[in-house]
Every structure is written in structure tokens, then in C-alpha cells.
Amino acid sequence: MSESLELATLGGGCFWCTEAALEQLVGVESVTSGYAGGHVEDPTYKAVCSGATGHAEVVQVAFDPDVIAYDEVLEAFFEIHDPTQLNRQGPDVGSQYRSIVLTHDDAQREIAEAYVEALDEEYDDDVVTEIEPLETFYRAEEHHQDYFAKNPDDAYCSFHAKPKMEKVREKFEAKVAK
């Protein structure tokens, strides 16, 4: 990774959908699906899906802060999931689908806390997004990387990833790669 790039680690439901939506943003160099926030070393997808590892499905976004700021990455992230849903997003239920921001430093923590506090005023229900320091990110198995790009006709992706991608394209038109 280039020294000029920064990382954001975010979980808001299925990582296939989050990855597909956020990788469209100009300034995002890569999005990697993985697991974080749990207590088991080197978890597998099957173990994470069981809910027993404590991990969330997350994406790790490598972005150029000279092109897109961390708070803009957060804005897109919060646009594509419901931060008031506890341990679920759409059809995906379990703590592995929780809304979570895993921060890489104190500056990110401060920005994320301020963002969530402001966001909480916009919703009738409480925002339940967790904000924690990232301890370890585990890259998901290879077949989960770029899942939407490899499986654009997958029914789950058609119903869940495509609308999130469209939402990012509409809301962040100037920040979406053509």
C-alpha cells in the first residue's frame, strides 16, 4: 500500500454489498472483504456466519485522502446501510452483520464519533453503530473478494448490492468513477 493511502474498516451487513458500493468512489484504491471485531484467530466465513466468533463481516477500504476524505467514505458507508438496525441488515441477521466502524487511529475515532452523533439526530430510532479501535483485520477467503464483479447475476447481489451501488452513484455522482 502506498504511504499516501489511508485505511477505513467498516461493517454494515454483507461485505459483498458494501464492497461493491464503496469501490465505485473516486479516490478509493481498493476494497477488501474480511472479518474483524471478534475473538477467534483466522476465522473462516462459515465460523463467522455461525455468530460464534464475535466477528463482523467488514470491508477494509484503502483510499487516497487527497482525493476523498475519511468523513466522505463514512458518508457513503452510512448511506448504504441502516445504522439503527441492531445485528442485522435487510435479510441478514446476526451480530456478524452489525453496524461497526473500526478505527485506525484517534483522529478516525473522533471523526466517526462526531459523525454518528450528528447522524443520531436524523433518525427516529437510536443509531446502534459500534465504534471500536481495529485490533486485527482478517482477509476473507478469495472467492468473497470482488464477489459482485465476479457474480453480477447472483440473485442476492441483484436484490441487495445493485441498489446500494445505485444509491452511491446517485448521491455521490461527482465522486463516482465513470
- The pLDDT tens digits for 129-151 are 999 999 999 999 999 999 999 99
23 lies in some domain: yes
The fraction of the chain above a pLDDT of 90, given in percent, is 85
Answer yes or no: is pLDDT of 9 > 80.
Answer: yes
37 lies in some domain: yes
94 lies in some domain: yes
CATH of the domain at 94: 3.30.1060.10
What's the pLDDT at 172? 83
What's the pLDDT at 2? 55
| 174: DSSP letter | G
88 lies in some domain: yes
First vs last Cα of the chain: how many Å apart?
Answer: 23
Answer yes or no: is pLDDT of 1 > 60.
Answer: no
Question: What are 115's strand-pairing partners?
Answer: none
**pTM reported for the whole predicted model:** 0.94
pLDDT, averaged across the chain: 94
Number of domains comprising the chain = 1
What's the pLDDT at 175? 77
Do you know the residue count of the chain? Answer: 178
124 lies in some domain: yes
Could you tell me the pLDDT band of residue 117, with boundaries at 50, 70 and 90? very high
> Rg for the chain (alpha carbons), in Å?
15
48 lies in some domain: yes
**Span 58-86, average pLDDT:** 96
Whole-angstrom distance, CA of residue 57 vs CA of residue 125:
23
> What domain range is 51 assigned to?
6-175
**Span 117-137, average pLDDT:** 95
- Residues with a catalytic annotation lie at 14
80 lies in some domain: yes
1 lies in some domain: no
Whole-angstrom distance, CA of residue 100 vs CA of residue 131:
6
